[in-house]
Structure 1
């Protein structure tokens, strides 16, 4: 009986571990002139350099899937497009100090630092910092996604959503489905809002 009870207990623990959830977080900014009654029938618009880009085409399929989950319908012969959806993405290298009183994330493109620890809030710095050679530094990457919704007839911008996440892995492909999910979370977010959103991700791996 004890052996059976122990087996049941172990099975229960394994099940709970397999059903546990991890989180994925990112900063989402939303600007729009969205009307609730607007028909969500879209066509994907590609930039010229995206036409023959295999990587982009993979992300475009993920975009279509996420739009479908968010109640959008892709245009066809019976349902002409009301809006165009375009997508842009980028990854930037940064360095994150880990043993300094003022650790910060450095963006080499905009030279923008995000303070850590007790000193929160972004601030501008004109040149890269010169860190001591013995300073412990770990690499991080800023992955960014932008979705734009525009009216087909007037080309008027309907919505502009920007998402960014800081990760240690440089491959944006690992995070694109989550970035798209963040972008469309509770679409549309309040106009002019910028906030950190967390997604719950169920995992089935048990070590």
Structure 2
């Protein structure tokens, strides 16, 4: 009985542990960030089509929030900005084929919870946990994975020199770019400006507050 309880508890913990969804992103940033940049004012640089794109505007707001957290300020009115910020993004899908074993659990055999024993009779030799689940075959299935990509650049508004160029890629089953974008933006500015050209991975739980 103790063995049964232990196995049930382990299965429950595995189920609960798998409930949290994680957005895992690969981040690579190149930078020549000045050691001293007292004026961190900026404007977004976008095409005429992007100016009327509500989805793009939403992502600009996400980037603006992260920049504000890092001490940047968006220029307003006639103020001359020091920096220009631009972003690009896309999403693509690919089909994945996988094979997994088919397992038969004797616990749920033709005789109920003591599937390999006789009704009304119990013996350790007929204990399903003694034998354990058996692999009886395999099945092939397919599913889609979606690769989400975000690129953000920060350049000098004075001479056009590129100061920060970060690319974030993330692959998973979530096909909604608006749902994933807050995590991509947050990942883009993790450890800003960071070591130039050194790839790293950022993991954020979906229920994390951004």
Q: Label 1:137 to 1:34 Cα distance change in 2 as closer, same or farther (>3 A).
A: same
**Distance across 2 between alignment mates of 1:94 and 1:189:** 31
Q: Which of 158, 164, 172 is the aligned partner of 1:167?
A: 172
Contact 2:22 2:205 in 1 (8 A): yes
| Cα deviation 1:104-152 (Å, max 9, x = unaligned) | xxxxxxxxxxxxxxxxxxxxxxxxxxxxxx8421101000000011110
In the alignment, structure 1 residue 190 sits paired with structure 2 residue 195: yes
**Distance across 2 between alignment mates of 1:80 and 1:32:** 23
- The structure that is helix-richer by fraction is 2
| Cα deviation 1:130-186 (Å, max 9, x = unaligned) | xxxx84211010000000111101111111000011121211000111110000111
Contact 1:22 1:203 in 2 (8 A): no
Cα distance, 1:23 vs structure 2: 3.7
| Cα deviation 1:16-70 (Å, max 9, x = unaligned) | x9xx976432000101111131232211111233121111111111111121112
In the alignment, structure 1 residue 25 sits paired with structure 2 residue 24: yes
Matches within 5 A, 1:16-165: 23-38=22-37, 39-77=39-77, 80-99=80-99, 135-165=140-170
Larger radius of gyration: 2
1:80 is paired with a residue of what secondary structure? Answer: coil
Contact 2:174 2:180 in 1 (8 A): no
1:57 is paired with a residue of what secondary structure? Answer: helix
Moved segments of 4+, more than 2 Å: 20-24, 76-80, 199-204
- Structure 1, unmatched stretches of 5+, are 1-16, 101-133
TM-score, normalisation: structure 2: 0.65
Aligned to 2:184: 179
**Distance across 2 between alignment mates of 1:87 and 1:54:** 14
- Structure 2, unmatched stretches of 5+, are 1-15, 101-138
C-alpha RMSD of matched pairs (Å): 2.5
**Distance across 1 between alignment mates of 2:59 and 2:179:** 11
Cα distance, 1:190 vs structure 2: 0.5
2:99 is paired with a residue of what secondary structure? Answer: coil
TM-score, normalisation: structure 1: 0.66
